[in-house]
Structure 1
Amino acid sequence: MPTSPFIFEADAANFSDLLQRSREVPVLVDFWASWCAPCQMLMPVLAKLAEEYQGKFLLVKVNTDEQPEIAQAFGVRSLPTLMLFKDGQPVDSLLGAQPESTLRQMLDRYIEKPSDRLREEARKARERGALAEARKLIEEALALAPNAIELKLDLARILFEEGDYAAMDALLRSLPPSPEVKALQGMLAFARIAEQAPPRQKLEAEVRAHPENSEARYQLGARMALEGDFEGALENFLELLKRDPAYRDRAKEAMLAIFERLGGQGELVNRYRMRMFTALH
């Protein structure tokens, strides 16, 4: 194998130091042996990728006949075994000789791209409340990675916080269905309800005085959901579902939207999912 600044032979003395390099770039460890035919097939493919990626990952080769203690430490039982390390920890693995396309897919999941840096800067800007800056950074990232769904979801969240509901709606409609998209569509629906609603305190007073006012209760639930008071929102939508057949479908959809927003699991979701089921049946 030609010498390369991106390919290393590991032994007991240098292996730990090589793994520490994974705090800078991913480190792909190839466990191999000279008698292993699939290992020999894989070697030139790995070497080609190491040269092509030019230091975006490092290839570390472990001859398991010469370094059995390293293989044993990581539970290697078949060859070839590939383990990818990031931040000093194994994050992915492959067994057997793999096609180049599969190797690329694994590497690309963990190699930082220019759009990743822009996304991280956008996250920090959003946390500071600098929404215009965050939007600009995400749009720059999308110019580099126009098909990245996670970037489009980030942009949808920023549009939501900016109150640009029309642009958010158009963006979400262009994305394939997913739990994240459903959750954002649910929050968008709440925002549009709340746009036309009185302040929360006024709605609370109205619901206390007139519990039968279904529209006020519906608007109150939407406002609570937007403010993160998910239990209060669920309680009002559940009461609406039980009280008013005309609002039954809307109340159910609102509760399902909150379940999606909460990741579809957890004590609150489980409790109100059961209560909703009971009320519906």
Structure 2
Amino acid sequence: MLLRLFLAFCAITGLAAPVAAEDERPPVSQCQLVAEGLPKARFATFEPEPLPLIYAALEEEVTIRFLGHSTFQIETPGGISIATDFNGWLRTADLPDVVTMNKAHSSHYTLSPDPGIATVLHGWNDERPGEKAEHRLVVGDAYIRNVPTDIRSWGGAFEPNGNSIFIFEVAGLCIGHLGHLHHELTDAHFAEIGRLDIVMVPVDGGLTMGADSMSRTIKRLRSALILPMHRRGPPIETFLGMFDQSFDFKIADSDAITVTARTLPRKPLILVLSGV
């Protein structure tokens, strides 16, 4: 809790908060270590006045709804709607403001999204195939960034930087979507990712990674809330069987969860939303 209070205080004071879009400086991630900014970081001093603001920030609600396959819709307190691995046909009646995509398979992207969608983010580099896509932007009350990873092509060879882990920082929460992750992450990847309070993880057992490899990734991330997705073939128990009593497990009776920074589970929880 003290850590979350500190991070919320950083966001309020500007120590590690995203900056406005018109600012010439790039946005700064709250989910990566503040120490990375040293010696340029500006240290905050304690003042009693900001505390009500801190608690207010921790109470802001974010709703995450599972739409199918690997598509979730994230609704921010400021009214921004974000759809992950958007393919055009897994969607709600209302168009999202932002969509992220990965080109692993046609069920994870579309090259003809509705023109009414304001922001479309590809997890691959359109202009320079094989090079990293780089996204660092603020949309409303959400800061969105990506960490590129490789994917397997249909022929079996690895395609560099064809997938992205998208990270959404909103209301003091760090929310990550692993996309179509095909390999275990390196130390450099984990450093780029930083803290993830909530992570959406494929549990297909082999189309992305095997249950053992994927579970090692999740154990290292140590997120408070783990949301399985992309389940095909083996039962989800194969994935769950890789975790010991240090993780809780629950099958939800709803396809959505509303969460705040203060209501995150204290013990890591694998929550299977309805439809998974």
Fold equivalence (TM over 0.5): no
Determine which structure has the larger strand proportion and give its number: 2
TM normalised by structure 1 equals: 0.22
Larger RCO of the pair (alpha carbons < 8 Å, separation 6+): 2
TM normalised by structure 2 equals: 0.23
